Structure 1
Amino acid sequence: MAIVKIGTVQMSCNADKPSNIQKSIAQIREAAAKGAQIVCLQELFTSLYFCDVEDHDNFLLGEAIPGPTTDALTTVAAECNVVIIASLFEKRANGLYHNTTAVIDADGKYLGKYRKMHIPDDPGYYEKFYFTPGDLGYKVFKTKYATIGVLICWDQWYPEAARITSLMGAEILFYPTAIGWATHQDEATNVEQYNAWQTIQRSHAIANGVPVVSVNRVGYEADMKFWGGSFISNPFGTLLYKASHDEEETVVTEIDTEKTERYRTHWPFLRDRRIDSYAPITKRYIDED
């Protein structure tokens, strides 16, 4: 389908997992009522962003995928005829956890999962304490409405991830996200950080000629203000939608996947790639000697 209606759910979360799940389901239904065909939820939507601390009790939030949350979402997907992109804390085995996104098709079928490849470790984002890096590789999912690629938050900063996923046939790139500002920061730093975050993802749209959908959470948690600002970019980096930094928003935006052909032929970046020269990209760093 050329025209695809994308539902983005930007919301705040609390410490009660069941209430966050029910809130998300209500927003999926709202997006579907507005005509959404694909609905993307934010990163780790079932809980507060627990990676602000290293606390072993937080491992109790983990769950199997497929599991209870995906079971609930498959029912909603089938009832509303929508594709759902759901970011969850996956318990793979005792002592083995991933930051994982499940994809459910519009008929309620579980299509599979993507495990976050790039894992940060920064003040307020201690994800290496919780998550094993993804081992499924980059993934695309053939849904009823489009072939989609899913990456997660810190993956946003890596053009290699976007490129590979696009080369695998993704018509749209989705980035469930949880990122914010430290509450002690000045406004100039906040603006610079948000602009960099948005710019790098819009650059992925331009370089690969595909729309990009980035969905962030909002609200105060511990010493962090999650900056919202969810957005959708067309294949040449033009913003089709941008959310506020403070409010919960469930919005439906139309994108036209056929525009990829136009942008890729007028700006033939894929044609002119020098794949014979890219072997050094697999090195950590290139020393002159």
Structure 2
Amino acid sequence: FSLAEAIPDGPSVQALSEVAARLGVVIIASLFEKRAQGLYHNTVAVLDADGRYLGKYRKMHIPDDPGYYEKFYFTPGDLGYKVFDTRYGRLGVLICWDQWYPEAARLTALKGAEVLFYPTAIGWALDQTEDVNQEQFHAWRTIQMSHAVANGVPVVGVNRTGIEGEMQFWGGSFVANAFGRLLYEAPHLEEAVHVQAVDLGASDYYRTHWPFLRDRRIDSYAPLTKRFWDE
């Protein structure tokens, strides 16, 4: 908890704001936010290419399973799903465990996101078999690519690498176009820096030819607000 800081008034946002302005890039910064004494969030701060702080998104879905005891540290987000207007487009940002929930991707896309970003820290337990490792990685990448297809927006999954405790983070950061086609994939076991061009205008083509948003039956989705449909 001693590593948590206020957002945007903490040192990380201030330092990264200077970097964003100097390089002319948008920075999506994953941070441990201290909101108040005893109240913490897993949070992303978004800094525009001129260094301006655009706002933050607090992780909505908090896991608690082997290797990821996040409920001990983090309170679920209460800011809703967010889209940030940057110099280079409208960015939707979700965090790690959020990536497994199609509802989160859909709502962010419906707010006007032109790209979905998923900063992530996920990996394999060191005692797992290679078959299990590959099954988990395939599921992780597939679910995010499905968000690209269903919503007609590019998806960028950014994952850490390296070993921490009994966990080997599997890297494999990737970029998919607005129909889920893989444009780039980083290696599993080493860090990488990559610049990938993405055609934001292609979303209009895919949404026109595969009109999933047009054909949604919004009158039929109320049961999604139930924990389980057993009534």
Question: 2:106: which partner in 1?
Answer: 163
| Amino acid aligned to 1:61 | L
Q: Residues 215-271 of structure 1: CA distance to partner in whole angstroms, max 9, x if unpaired?
A: 000011100000000001001110000011111101100000000000000000000
Q: How far apart are the structure 1 equivalents of 2:6 and 2:175?
A: 30
Does the alignment pair 1:60 with 2:2?
Answer: yes
| Amino acid aligned to 1:213 | V
Structure 1 vs Structure 2 CA RMSD: 0.5
| Amino acid aligned to 1:190 | N
Q: Residues 185-234 of structure 1: CA distance to partner in whole angstroms, max 9, x if unpaired?
A: 00000000000000000000000000000100001110000000000100
Partner of 2:2: helix, strand, or coil? helix
1:252-263 aligned within 5 A:
252-263=195-206
Does the alignment pair 1:93 with 2:33?
Answer: no
| Amino acid aligned to 1:147 | R
Q: How far apart are the structure 2 equivalents of 1:245 and 1:190?
A: 11
Q: TM-score scaled to structure 1, two decimals? A: 0.79
Question: Greater RCO between the two (CA within 8 Å, min separation 6)?
Answer: 1
Pairing partner for 1:274 from 183, 203, 217:
217
Does the alignment pair 1:265 with 2:208?
Answer: yes
Does the alignment pair 1:116 with 2:59?
Answer: yes
Partner of 1:100: helix, strand, or coil? strand
1:123 deviates by 1.0
Does the alignment pair 1:76 with 2:19?
Answer: yes
Q: How far apart are the structure 2 equivalents of 1:267 and 1:286?
A: 29
Does the alignment pair 1:145 with 2:52?
Answer: no
Question: 2:182: which partner in 1?
Answer: 239
Does the alignment pair 1:215 with 2:158?
Answer: yes
1:38-57 aligned within 5 A:
none
| Amino acid aligned to 1:239 | L
Q: TM-score scaled to structure 2, two decimals? A: 0.99
Question: 1:133: which partner in 2?
Answer: 76
| Amino acid aligned to 1:168 | K
| Amino acid aligned to 2:179 | F
**Unaligned stretches of 5+ in structure 2?**
none
Question: 2:145: which partner in 1?
Answer: 202
Partner of 2:196: helix, strand, or coil? strand
Q: Residues 88-133 of structure 1: CA distance to partner in whole angstroms, max 9, x if unpaired?
A: 0000011000000000000100000000000000111000000000
Q: How far apart are the structure 1 equivalents of 2:178 and 2:87?
A: 21
Q: How far apart are the structure 2 equivalents of 1:164 and 1:230?
A: 23
Partner of 2:116: helix, strand, or coil? strand
| Amino acid aligned to 2:185 | K
Question: 1:48: which partner in 2?
Answer: none
Q: How far apart are the structure 2 equivalents of 1:227 and 1:108?
A: 31
Does the alignment pair 1:185 with 2:185?
Answer: no
1:75 deviates by 0.5
Partner of 1:270: helix, strand, or coil? coil
1:70 deviates by 0.4
Q: How far apart are the structure 2 equivalents of 1:71 and 1:220?
A: 29
Does the alignment pair 1:175 with 2:126?
Answer: no
| Amino acid aligned to 2:40 | Y
Q: Residues 57-93 of structure 1: CA distance to partner in whole angstroms, max 9, x if unpaired?
A: xx11101111100000010111111110000000001
**Unaligned stretches of 5+ in structure 1?**
1-58
| Amino acid aligned to 1:189 | V
Q: Residues 117-162 of structure 1: CA distance to partner in whole angstroms, max 9, x if unpaired?
A: 0000011100000000000000000000100000000000000000
- The alignment of Structure 1 onto Structure 2 pairs a total of residues equal to 230
Q: How far apart are the structure 1 equivalents of 2:88 and 2:180?
A: 22
